[in-house]
């Protein structure tokens, strides 16, 4: 019986994960294996602008979700939020960058930039 309780306690401790939400630029976070990092950035697709996220091909974090969430309003032209869920899968550090721009304006500086560093322990 003690062995079963010890095993259950071990499993409960290892499956617990933390969710870290990032909404500001230049934010650095440190997470543990299995944790989920949520990046939420304001976006208004009606203006032609969108976030172009650069998440390096790496085993450190894996994208679980990448979606636009519209505002809960009837207002025409209202913006929303773009959301990325990243799961921490391997120890290491990864730098994530994004540019808020119109995709067809290649030679124009982005209206906004996003940079964060995620360290997985």
Kindly report, residue by residue over 46-56, the tens digit of the pLDDT: 999 999 999 99
- Name which CATH class applies to 17-120: mainly beta
Residue ranges per domain, the chain?
17-120
* Residues 106, 104: Cα–Cα separation, whole Å: 6
Residue 26: the pLDDT is 63
Kindly report, residue by residue over 84-113, the tens digit of the pLDDT: 999 999 999 999 999 999 999 989 999 999
* Residues 12, 101: Cα–Cα separation, whole Å: 44
List residues bridging with 59 in a β-sheet. Answer: none
Q: What is the DSSP-derived secondary structure letter of residue 48?
A: T
67-88: average pLDDT: 91
List residues bridging with 88 in a β-sheet. Answer: 61
Q: What is the DSSP-derived secondary structure letter of residue 45?
A: G
Residue 25: the pLDDT is 67
Q: Distances in Å between the alpha carbon of 94 and those of 54, 72, 83?
A: 11, 33, 18
């Amino acid at each position: 019986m003690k062995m079963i309780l010890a095993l259950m306690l071990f499993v409960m401790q290892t499956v617990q994960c933390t969710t870290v939400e990032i909404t500001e630029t230049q934010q650095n976070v440190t997470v543990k294996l299995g944790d989920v990092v949520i990046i939420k950035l304001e976006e208004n697709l009606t203006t032609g602008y969108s976030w172009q996220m650069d998440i390096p091909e790496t085993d450190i974090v894996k994208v679980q979700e990448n979606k636009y969430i519209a505002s809960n309003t009837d207002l025409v032209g209202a913006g929303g939020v773009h959301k990325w869920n990243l799961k921490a899968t391997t120890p290491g550090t990864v730098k994530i960058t994004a540019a808020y721009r119109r995709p067809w304006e290649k030679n124009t500086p982005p209206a906004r930039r996003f940079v964060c560093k995620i360290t997985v322990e």
